[in-house]
Structure formats: structure tokens, C-alpha cells
Amino acid sequence: MTRPLEGVVVLDLSRVLAGPWSGQLLADLGARVIKVEHPTRGDDTRGWGPPWLDGDHEAERVAAYYLCANRGKQSLAVDIATEGGQALVRELAKGADILLENFKVGGLAKYGLDYPRLKELNPRLIGCSITGFGQDGPYAHRAGYDFMIQAMGGLMSLSGEPDGMPMKTGVAITDVMTGLYATVGVLAALQERARTGRGRHIDVALLDVQVATLANQALNTLVTGTSPERHGNAHPNIVPYQAFACADGHLVLTVGNDAQFARLADLLGHPEWAEDPAYATNAARVGNREVLVPMIQALLMDRSRDEWLAELEVRGIPAGPINTLTEVFDDPQVRHRGLHRTLAHGPRGVPQVSNPLRFDGESATSEIAPPALGQDSDAILAEMGLTADDIARLRRQGVIR
């Protein structure tokens, strides 16, 4: 399959999750992504285990965390703190279309590799800087991590039981969303460059993304002037829209309109609820949730989870089980859509989660496994015109791996 970004070259100086997530998405879409890593440490996430995917030797052990965000890339192990390493990155930047980086503000400038200086070498270069707090403002100098940003950006105040501790999400969702926004910005800049011939600098901050993705909860606050309360597994604006216990487990019920509620009321043996002014509309149900929800909960305890799910499905009432991740990957729909795949790499292969984008029915997932540290250094440098002797000399000097 021809991929949309074939011919686009990405110089990826990012690490951990937000930047690599964007780089992986660009690689899935067909871009050539050259991941620049420190020769001895590599991306921090290579060591963020257990769990590990074991190689034949201890030195080849790599963390599952690293594997989630780096397929489709080439690894060039270069020490950018050396003059030789800086020269190599500048040369790569001359032929690149996109620079991805998530250094602290000013962090690349001390190496002469900041976007303004690289753009002097390549006016068509698009730069994307991902930081915790952005390129300006009173917090610009601070490091930013997903957990901290979930706290500062309000997400944790919305998560957890009303009488419990505020909770983070089980996935570093702010990093992931930041990677997605970075990719959107890069693609927009590529489109603009096709008209103007010049690159742009994109400033993406985790805190900005976290606040921007508060969605309805942000507007609930701005409209009312008060902060929302935590509702645990319930919804602040829709009822019934939450988790319920059954005789042998739990399910999630997501009633999104009054017609669905009428069908639910009939299933539960109380068709009169759909005509009762206290429950007939969503606004009424939200106002009377303290009465309605316990009544629904009591009735659902009479049967098993799967019995209820079958009845709800027949009546077109949205509901689902609360699956563990092993159950997720064994789900018939997930299996049908091919969301779990294995990429060829060594004797075992590398498990991956497919890119959810499909073009003309084909998955936009790179078939190239996440690279070993420095596995492509020689090939990339040779392509740049360095001889075998040049590469050996740089390796002896510790510039490359």
C-alpha cells in the first residue's frame, strides 16, 4: 500500500512518550523517521521495565514501554554533546522535512541544534517542540511529566470516587494526546509548506493539551463558574451513564437519549419511568440521580452480567463489560479488526497494537519493528557520504554507537 507521507523525512530528537508517539504515527503514515538517541543510554524508556521483551542476551533486553511508541523508525545513536555529533545532526537537518524534539526550552540551543539555527540551513524545515509548559510563560523553564500535568491541568480533580482521592488515568493520556496534537500541527504545516515553500515552528505544551482536552468539563466550569465534582464512574451530564454491579460482576450502562431510557425502563419492569416527569428527560434524570440510580442498581443485582448484556444488546441499549486488557485482546471485535499484531523481529517477533487508521480498508501500521539502539547508524551515515573509516573513527571517539 502506498502511504500518504512517503518521501517525508523526520528527524526525531524526542524521547519517552509524547514525541515518540507522534514520530511513530508519522512512520505509520509512511514517513522515514530517523530516531536520534544517546549512544549508551538511548531513549529513557528502553530501560523502563519490567516487563521486558527478552532478547538472546541480557544486553538486548528492552522494555515493553519502549516498544509501544517506536515502530517504523531507524535508530541513529549519536552523542549530540560532541562537536562531531552536532555536525552530523546539522547535516541530517539539511535534508529533513520535520524536526521533532522535546528538550527543555533552550536545551538544544546550547548544542547549536535549536530550530532557528537549523532553519537557517533548511528554510523548508518544519520544527515541532514538545514541552511541559510551552516556549514562554512563568513555567516555561520547568520539566513536565504526564502525571504532574494531569494534576495541574485538572484531570485528576475529575477522576475518582466523590469521597476518595483524586485519581490519574491508567494510561499517560496527556502524553498520548500531546503526540496526536503535535502530529496534527505537523501535517498542517506540511500542507502550508506546499503553498509557501517555507517551514513553521510548532509549540506544543502538555499543560495546554490537558486543558484543551477537558472538553465538556471545561465548559461546565466556564458556564457555571464552579469546579465540577468527582462522580467516579458516573457522568456529570448524563443519567444513567455509569458502571453498575450485577449478580456476578460489573457492566457499564451508557444511556444517551430518552428513547434508550424508555427501553431500559421497560426491560427493568418499570415502563412508567419513561412517562414520569422526574425521569422522562435527561435533565430530569440528572436532577434526580440520587433516587433513580439506586433503583436501577437494585434491579441489576438480580441477574448476571452476561444475561443483562444480552438483553440490553437485543433492545439497542448501549452497554458493555468492564474488560481486563487480556479480555480486550481476546474480544471478537478487537480480533476481527486486527488490533493485536506481531511484527517480524528475531525468533519471537515483537507484539504491537495496530494503528487505528485505515486507508482504503488497509491498516496504516508500519511493518518495521522498533529498532535496537543504533541499529541503523552505519547505514544512515554511509548514506550521508561517510566512509567505513569515517564511521569507525567516530565510533572510537564515542560520537556514535
Which residues are part of the catalytic machinery?
175
Q: Please report, for residues 245, 301, 315, 317, the alpha-carbon distance to residue 305 in angstroms, rounded to integers and kept in the order given.
A: 8, 9, 16, 14
Q: Which long-range contacts (CB under 8 A, 24 or more apart) does 346-350 make?
A: 346/55, 346/56, 347/56, 348/53, 350/53, 350/67, 350/71
Closest CA to 177 of 207, 198, 220: 207
Look up residue 152 and give its three cell numbers.
Answer: 495541574
Do 53 and 64 meet the contact criterion of CB atoms below 8 Å apart?
A: yes
Residue 252 is inside which H or E element, if any? strand 250-254
Three-state DSSP at 207 gives helix
323 neighbors 331 (Cβ within 8 angstroms): yes
**In 3D, which of 85, 77, 64 has the Cα closest to residue 38?**
77
Longest dimension (CA), the chain: 85
- Picking from 89, 61, 45, 74, the residue whose alpha carbon sits closest to that of residue 375 is 74
Within 52-136, strands assigned E span 52-53, 62-63, 73-77, 98-101, 126-131
